[in-house]
Chains A and B, each alone.
Chain A
Amino acid sequence: MLTAERIIVASSLVWAAALLTWQLLAAWGGGRKDYSARAGSSARGVLYNFTAAMSPARKEAARRHPFKFAVGMVMHLGVVVAVLKVVVLLIKPTAPPIAPIPLGGFLAFAAAATSFLFVRRFFSKNLRPISDFDDYFAAFAVAVYLGIGSLHELNVINAGTFLLVGAVVAFYIPLGKLRHVLFCPVARFDLGRRLGYRGTFPAGRAE
């Protein structure tokens, strides 16, 4: 019944959640009062920054690099699918693969996309100088995780192997760049809150 594997992966998830929560609270420091007179709405700014501001139409970085942006999206969607598979296995270890061909194929595609980002980091003149071991390892770990997830969905390997690889990735989340899973939304919240307060957000009139 995969008892040991489930305990290991659950422990890793608890570890990741605990450390991320601690990092969040340490950085939060109780928040900061803004003494300036409000001109807009922080709530509307946050809402905007989590909706319209995320569309490629408002994001030049995405608009100018549609292929790389799409590759990143595929990778992240793959991670969501793989995490959901772990959740399913934690709840019901005997659960059969959900949709072997479409999901297995998609996870293989996501693993290939992540591998592309991993290789690109080696060869890009811009990325190599700013990349650390963490940047390479995070991409490598996620590519392996997605690849193993694909093989499990296609019934090539057993669920235990998939869970153990997932446990390793989860253990690493709070230690390196994978913690952006938490800090990206928090940063987006913070910028939306500040620029909403000042009236810059919601934006959208710019041509």
Chain B
Amino acid sequence: MVIKKETIDLLRPEDDPQEATAAARAALREPLRDLAAYHMDACVKCGLCGETCHVYLTDPVPENLPAAKAAKVVRHFRRYHSAVGRLAPWLVGAKELTQSAFDEIVEAVYGRCTGCGRCGLNCSVGADVGAIIRTGRNVVAAAAEVPPNLQAVVDNQINTGNQMAITVEELKATAAWLSEDLQLETGDEDVRIHVDEPGKRVFYLVNPREVKFFPLSLSAAAGVFRAAGENWTMSSKFYDVTNYGLYSGDDPAAARITKQVMDEAARLEAEEVVLSECGHGFRSFRWEGPNWLGEEYPIRVRSILEVMLEYIEEGRIEIDPGKNVERVTLHDPCNLVRWGGVSEPQRKILAAVASDFVEMTPNREQNFCCGGGGGMLSMSEYGDRRVQSGAVKADQIRATGAKIIATPCHNCADQLLELNKKYSLGVEIQAVCELVFNALVIR
């Protein structure tokens, strides 16, 4: 869905339920413009998709069948945008979109699906169920029926610039003490977290979770940048790599979040935006963002994985895999790999920085979602189901015998931390840049 810049400020659906439902019906028309309608008419409900879904595998009830979740959206689309659905709705199961229908759609597209897209890749006929699910989220967002905890994250991003509502002062203070720690650790007095420095080549975006709870990955990235001689900065206001508008289905909000970050990149006169390790953040800023804005970016956007691999291949950083001797495996974030096309840089990096790197099976675009995607982590009402659905990933991890799980995604890392406890995996979860930093040879 393309949101023109001039419409970005026309946010928040109406409070009037009737108008909200009308807005949702209008949102159902959007697929007609971005081809999701094809996928709706491609699904033949053969039912073979169940075992491709981690939610179904861990709770094999009919409601968890990907085709069943898609059907909750398709039936309303047919009611308004197909001749048969209008004239003889009973024939094709078309249903009116009423206020009461939203509960069922919310349960199907937020509560039982992370939008990981694995079912679409393995669909016997090639229907992209993920596109249908996201259309369902668009419809719910248009009616202002997004689960409140998920909506609160989106609101935080719009109102404060970051999803955790971290203040500018807090960010600057964190950057200061992290810099001091890093200087002590490396003995390099010039290494630091650069904030609000215009004219630097790289504008680096991070997950606020790094600032608030897990700063090791931020200081690791700073250490790697320093070792490579990179010219970089963060912003004290718009540094958030996440975009929960992707999850909520609120495309105008997603566009606004994208715009505030890209405007900041322009203000800082950066030549490139580098995204910290974040699956949905990569998909949002790299792929969906320009389409939400309806224009091409003036500067390049890359993942830090691509940048770190470049440092290694160009010899800008020296590494010693002997510094990471424990067995390492890799969890592939769905939005980075399946929806983002980045699967090899992280493998090449891990093969270079760890002495015992092993793959999970299946992997790359066939990976299973950890269960924490799709905004699940913010929706506490689905917490038990989220952890239960992670059993598939827990089994994959256990089979590798690895002691360290590297994952280039902070949402996945949060979920893996919970799975580690729940399923007694006895592993350590790290970002890829932490392993690179640990392997750095600093002279």
- Residues in B with CB closer than 8 Å to A28 are 35
Using a Cβ cutoff of 8 Å, how many contacts connect chains A and B? 182
| Those of B312-352 within 8 Å (CB) of chain A | 337-344
Some 10 contacts from A to B, beta carbons below 8 A apart, are A29-B33, A37-B290, A37-B301, A61-B123, A176-B92, A177-B41, A183-B42, A184-B127, A191-B120, A200-B340
Q: Which residues of A contact B367 (CB under 8 A)?
A: 206
Contact check, B364 vs A61: say whether CB atoms are below 8 A apart: no
Report the bound CA distance from A183 to B38 in whole Å. Answer: 5
Contact partners of A143 in chain B: CB under 8 A: none
Which listed segment binds A: B49-57, B157-165, B214-222, B374-382? B49-57
Taken together as a complex, chains A and B put the C-alpha atoms of A27 and B39 apart, in Å, by: 11
Q: Are A207 and B361 in contact (CB under 8 A)?
A: yes
Give a binary string over B280-314; 1 marks a CB under 8 Å from any A CB, 0 the rest: 00000011111101111100110000000000000
Q: Is the CB of B41 within 8 A of A126?
A: no
Which residue of A is nearest B292, CB measured? A35
Which residue of B is nearest A195, CB measured? B341
Q: A176 contacts which chain B residues (CB < 8 A)?
A: 84, 91-92
Given contacts A176-B84, A205-B343, is CB(A130)–CB(B52) below 8 Å?
A: no
What is the chain B residue whose CB lies nearest that of A45? Answer: B341
Docked pose: A180 CA to B126 CA in angstroms = 11
In this complex, the member of B123, B288, B295, B340 whose beta carbon has the largest number of chain A beta carbons within 10 angstroms is B123
Partner-binding segment picked from A7-15, A64-72, A89-97, A105-113: A64-72
User: Contacts A62-B48, A176-B84, A190-B128 given; 6 further ones with Cβ under 8 A?
Assistant: A34-B290, A60-B122, A69-B48, A129-B62, A130-B67, A180-B44
A103 to B351, CA, bound (A): 55
Task: State whether B290 touches A35 (Cβ < 8 A).
Answer: yes
Contact flag A180-B341 (CB < 8 Å), given A132-B93, A187-B128: no
Is A44 positioned at the interface, with any CB of B under 8 Å from its CB?
A: no
Flag whether B363 is at the interface (Cβ < 8 A): yes
For the complex, give the distance between the alpha carbons of A137 and B364 in Å: 40
Residue from A39, A183, A191 within 8 A of B41 (CB atoms): A183
Chain B residues with Cβ below 8 Å from A206 are 362-367
| B residues neighboring A (CB under 8 Å) | 2, 31-35, 37-39, 41-52, 62, 65, 67-68, 71, 84, 90-93, 119-128, 286-291, 293-297, 300-301, 337-344, 359, 361-367
Contact A39 B37 (CB under 8 A): no
How far apart sit A126 and B47, CA to CA, in the bound complex (Å)?
A: 7
Those 4 A-B pairs whose CB atoms lie nearest each other, nearest first? A132-B93, A199-B341, A188-B126, A35-B290
Inter-chain CA distance A110–B139, complex, in Å, is 40
Chain A residues bordering chain B, tally (CB within 8 A)? 58
Alpha-carbon distance between A125 and B63 when the two chains are bound, in angstroms: 10
Q: Which of A26, A185, A203 contacts B364 (CB 8 A)?
A: A203
Given the known interface contacts A28-B35, A62-B48, A200-B365, the answer about A36 and B289 at a Cβ–Cβ threshold of 8 Å is: yes
The interface residues of chain A, by DSSP majority, are classed as helix
* Neighbour of B32 across the interface among A29, A68, A198, CB < 8 A: A29
- Cα–Cα, bound, A32→B71 (Å): 25
| Residues of chain B lying within 8 A (CB to CB) of residue A40 | 341
Q: Chain A contacts of B65 at CB under 8 A?
A: 126, 130
- Which residues in A have their C-beta under 8 angstroms from that of B50? 126
Smallest beta-carbon distance A92→chain B, Å: 33
User: Contact between B91 and A132 (Cβ–Cβ < 8 Å)?
Assistant: yes
Question: Roughly how many angstroms separate A66 CA and B428 CA in the complex, as a whole number?
Answer: 38
Q: Contact between B296 and A39 (Cβ–Cβ < 8 Å)?
A: no
Give complex CA distance A74, B46 in Å. Answer: 15
Contact A200 B287 (CB under 8 A): no
Q: How far is the CA of A81 from the CA of B62 in the complex (A)?
A: 34
B38 adjacent to A61 (CB under 8 Å): no
Bound CA span A16–B286, Å: 41
Nearest-CB distance from B28 to chain A (Å)?
A: 13
Q: Tell me the nearest residue of chain A to B283, going by C-beta.
A: A198
Q: Quick check: A135 and B48 within 8 Å, CB to CB?
A: no
Is A175 at the interface (CB under 8 A from chain B)?
A: yes
A62 closest partner in B (C-beta): B124
Q: Is the CB of B84 within 8 A of A175?
A: yes
A:157-182 near B, CB below 8 Å: 175-177, 179-180
A26→B42 CA distance, assembly (Å): 15
A129-B93 Cα distance, complex, nearest whole Å: 11
CB closest chain-B residue, reference A35: B290
Q: How far is the CA of A183 from the CA of B367 in the complex (A)?
A: 27
Nearest to A124 among chain B residues (CB) is B47
Q: Please, which residue of chain B has its CB at the minimum distance from the CB of A65? A: B48
In whole angstroms, what is the CA distance A183 to B40 when docked? 9
Which residues of the partner chain A approach B122 to less than 8 Å between Cβ atoms?
A: 59-61
CB distance from B87 to the nearest CB of A (A): 10
Q: When chains A and B are docked, how far (Å) is the Cα of A135 from the Cα of B33?
A: 26
Q: Give the residue name and chain of the B residue nearest to A30 (CB).
A: B33
| A131 in contact (CB, < 8 A) | yes
Q: Mark A125-155, 1 if CB is under 8 A from B, else 0.
A: 1110111111101000000000000000000
Is there contact, CB below 8 Å, between B340 and A37?
Answer: no
